Each structure stands twice: as C-alpha cells, then as structure tokens.
Amino acid sequence: MQGLDSFFEKYNFDDPIRLSVLLAFISSFISFFSVLYFNDYTPQLPALTFFVFLLLSFGVFYLIFYLFIRIFIYRKVLLIFKAINQVKVVEKAEEEVARNVTLRSAQVAVFDWAEDKMNQIQMLKEREKYRREYLGNISHELKTPIFNIQGYVLTLLDGAMNDPELCEKYLKRTTKSIDRMINIVNDLDLIAQLESGALKLKMTRFDISELVKDVFDQLSDKARGKNVKLKLKKSYDKPVLVVADQKRVEQLLINLVMNAIKYSKPEGGLVEVAFYELPGQIMTEVSDNGVGIPKEDISRIFERFYRVDKSRSRDAGGTGLGLAIVKHIIESHKQTINVRSTEGIGSAFSFTLQKAE
C-alpha cells in the first residue's frame, strides 16, 4: 500500500487529469484484450479497426473517469480545501483555484488544519486553566485583607472603640490591610497598562549603577531588619550608562532587591548587584545567597500571584505581583530577563537594557 502511495505521489496522479488518463489507459487495454479473448485471439477485423476501437475506448473511459472524479470527488475535495483555508473566490477565479489544488495538497491542508485546531484547543485549555488559577489567586489575595478589615471593624463596633488604645491598634491594622488592597489594585493596573501598551515609556540616558545605590538607600532599613547586606559586586569607576525608562527600571530593581531580601538567609544574608557589558547591551544581575527556587517552579515564578512557598511567601508580605511586573517592564523595553537558582545556595536574576552610546 505504501509502494502504491509513493508511485502515485512520484508521478503526481493526485491530479484529476493525470488520474483520469491512467484509469482510462488501464480500462481501454483491459477492454482491448477482452475483445481479443472473446474472439479466440484470432481477430477477424483489420488491425486498424482494433486501433480505432482502442482509441475510442480510451476517449470514452477518460471522459467517464474525468467527469466522475471532477463531479463526485474533486469538487467535494475543493469545497473542503476552500473551507479549511478560508478561501473566498469569485466564479472566474474558481477554475484557477481548482487547477492549483490536487488531492495531495488537499490532504496536506486537511492534516495541517487538524493539527492547527488541536494546537488551538490545547492553547485554549491552557488559557482556561490559567484564567481559573488567576481568578482564584486574585480572589484569595483580596479576600484576606477584606476579611481582616471586616473583623477589625466588627470588633470596634462591639465596643473596642471605647478603649482608645485598642481602637488605635485596630485602626492601624485596618489601615495596613487597606494599603495592601491598594497595592494589589495598583500593581494589577500597572500590569494591565504594560500589557496593553497604554503606558508610554520615557526613555532617558542614565547611570544605572547610581540608580542601584539609590535603591539600596531606600531599602537599607528593611535589609538591616533582616540582617541582610546590600552591596555592589565591585566598585565601578566609570558610569554604567543605559537608555531606558528610569522610573520603571527603579521599580523593577526595587522589586528584585526586595525579593532577594525576603528570601535571604536568616543570618548573614547577602544581596549583590553586578553589571556586565554585552554588545549593545548592559546586563544587570541581582543575586542572593538565600533559600533558592525549586527547579520545577522556575518556569512559573513570573506569573501573577504565583508563589513558590505560598504560606511563607504570604507571611513575607508583598502582593505576589512583583516578579510579574519586573517581567512586563523588561518586555516593554524589548529586552530579556533570566533566572538561575539552586535550592539552599541562592538565586540570580539578570536582565538586559540598551547600552547608551
């Protein structure tokens, strides 16, 4: 069967004309030898008569097979081909399309169409799974501060407001939960703007090494509270100049350094930042000596609300959107970010930015 398929493919017999010629040729010779057989192999008529008979039978069989293939097979195949390829043509162009379509090309088109639909179905399933996880995560993240606020307010209404010290304590906790909700909403809004392209980048030329020092100053209190040391991997005598949106780069640096501080070792934590010059780019690497990330989680850490250790991560604070924002900021600059991590040794996040000339 495979040999027959290869024979038909080799000589292009999936074309209706060639296929009709082949079938007519075979049928006319069968008819010719049938006539000879029934005449006891002693033809009573001249050879010219048999030649004319052979020629006429070939023509009749060719016409029959061609019409049959065109009407009952090929037009149906052509309709399928046009449907799966979404081909819309006027009547004058119908024959042009028909001439270019063969049974082999229609078969390939059907297989490609089926594979494409399977890929689309798989993609839709993955998106549906992601949507369910995303809705569940955002519901959980907002539910926690909302229930906290509800509990504090009910406690105050039950009489705690009459105690000034207790009232102040619960109002501060309420404010903290409200701030958490605001941060989540603001981060979601920022991601939506970055994804849609609504947030326009203000590209400027600046020294990223000085920006890192500013970020270290902003986060120095948090680092001291966790006994974590912040430092540049080496001293940079010359400015490390890049072209980017300074405000957004500062935001992604804060997110990366904060993330490194959170998951550093309880004692003797270290967060380092280093710069590497590449052709046309500057690569910035933020590394720590913390708990590291399991290998199976690395591919998902940039997803919104994804947490490697959900209980510990939530206790550490944050909205669960920090790394998602980092990824979107880098992608909006048309650059890349990568992560290397080993459990118990630490993690290193590296991203590229355009080098200033």
Least confident of 20-24, 188-192, 263-267, 309-313: 309-313
Q: Tell me the three state secondary structure of residue 244.
A: strand
Contact 325, 271 (CB under 8 A): no
Contact 249, 226 (CB under 8 A): no
| pLDDT tens track for 149-173 | 888 888 888 888 888 888 888 888 8
| pLDDT tens track for 281-340 | 999 999 998 888 888 888 888 877 776 655 444 444 556 778 888 898 998 899 999 999
| Cβ neighbours around 163 below 10 Å, total | 12
47, burial (CB in 10 Å: exposed 0-12, middle 13-18, buried 19+): exposed
Task: For residue 88, name the pLDDT band (cuts at 50, 70, 90).
Answer: very low
Place of tokens 């906790």: 173
Q: How many CA atoms lie within 13 A of 33 on its CB side?
A: 5
Structure-token pair, residue 113: 């169409």
More confident residue, 227 or 41: 227
Mean per-residue pLDDT, 173-181: 86
**In this structure, what DSSP letter does residue 197 have?**
T
Q: What is the pLDDT of residue 321?
A: 79
| pLDDT tens track for 96-117 | 555 555 556 666 666 777 777 7
Q: What is the pLDDT of residue 207?
A: 94
Q: How many CA atoms lie within 13 A of 210 on its CB side?
A: 10
**How far, in Å, are 93, 108, 133, 213, 287 from residue 294 at the CA level?**
59, 43, 20, 30, 16
- Across 109-252, the runs of DSSP E, i.e. the strands, are 203-207, 228-232, 241-245
Task: For residue 40, name the pLDDT band (cuts at 50, 70, 90).
Answer: low
User: Phi/psi at 243 (nearest 5 deg)?
Assistant: -115, 115
Give the C-alpha separation, 161 to 146, whole Å.
19
Q: What is the pLDDT of residue 105?
A: 63
Q: What is the pLDDT of residue 92?
A: 42
Q: Give the DSSP H or E segment for 269.
A: strand 269-278
Task: For residue 71, name the pLDDT band (cuts at 50, 70, 90).
Answer: low
Model's pTM, two decimal places?
Answer: 0.59
**Of the candidates 13, 20, 16, which has an alpha carbon nearest to the alpha carbon of residue 77?**
16
Structure-token pair, residue 323: 């790394």
Give the C-alpha separation, 118 to 268, whole Å.
52
Q: What is the pLDDT of residue 77?
A: 64
| pLDDT tens track for 224-262 | 888 899 999 888 888 999 999 999 999 999 999 998 998
More confident residue, 3 or 157: 157
Q: What is the pLDDT of residue 90?
A: 44
Q: What is the pLDDT of residue 117?
A: 78
Give the C-alpha separation, 142 to 171, whole Å.
19
Q: What is the pLDDT of residue 93?
A: 46
| pLDDT tens track for 198-226 | 778 899 999 999 999 999 999 999 898 88
Q: Show Cβ contacts of residue 61 under 8 Å, excluding neighbours closer than 6 positions.
A: 23, 24, 27, 28, 31
Structure-token pair, residue 104: 């082999």
